[in-house]
């Protein structure tokens, strides 16, 4: 496992979160501490161990392919920040 070499600007950019200078300083030290703690997992011998994604894996859950009622347009748009003509409004993305 690599050391705590978290490049905060890069990772925050991947996470799509703008951080203030203050947050960057604080998170760098706090997350550094957490990553040092997490590094103890290096001690564990995991050779030959299968990973667990779910404690009780459920596979191939099939559903009948029949239409079900969904949200009405009104309900779907009810919490939208900006709406026009039954659509979500966002800034222009293509010039």
Judged by CB under 8 A, does residue 88 bind another protein? yes
Q: What is the end-to-end Cα distance of the chain in Å, rounded?
A: 44
Judged by CB under 8 A, does residue 58 bind another protein? yes
In sequence order, what are the residues at sequence separation of 6 or more whose Cβ sits closer than 8 angstroms to the Cβ of residue 19?
A: 8, 12, 27
Q: Half-sphere exposure of 90 toward its Cβ, with a 13 Å CA cutoff?
A: 4
Residue 42 DSSP label: G
Judged by CB under 8 A, does residue 87 bind another protein? no
Interface size with another protein, residues (CB under 8 A): 51
- Using DSSP, state whether 16 is helix, strand or coil: coil
With CB under 8 A as the contact rule, the residue among 18, 65, 66, 67 that binds another protein is 18
Give the residue from 5, 83, 82, 85 showing the smallest Cα distance to 38: 5
With CB under 8 A as the contact rule, the residue among 25, 67, 75, 85 that binds another protein is 75
Binding site for another protein (CB under 8 A): 1-2, 6, 8, 11-12, 14-20, 23, 26-27, 30-31, 33-35, 37-38, 40-41, 44, 46, 49-56, 58, 61, 63, 71, 75-76, 78-82, 88, 90-93
């Amino acid at each position: 496992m690599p050391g705590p070499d978290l490049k905060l600007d890069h990772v925050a950019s991947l996470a799509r979160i703008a951080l203030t200078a203050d947050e960057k300083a604080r998170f760098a030290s706090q997350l550094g501490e957490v990553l040092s703690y997490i590094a103890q997992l290096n001690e564990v011998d995991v050779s030959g161990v299968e990973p667990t994604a779910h404690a009780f894996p459920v596979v191939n859950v099939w559903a009948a392919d029949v239409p079900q009622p969904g949200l009405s347009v009104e309900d779907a748009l009810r919490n939208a920040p900006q709406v026009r003509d039954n659509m979500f409004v966002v800034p222009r993305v293509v010039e």
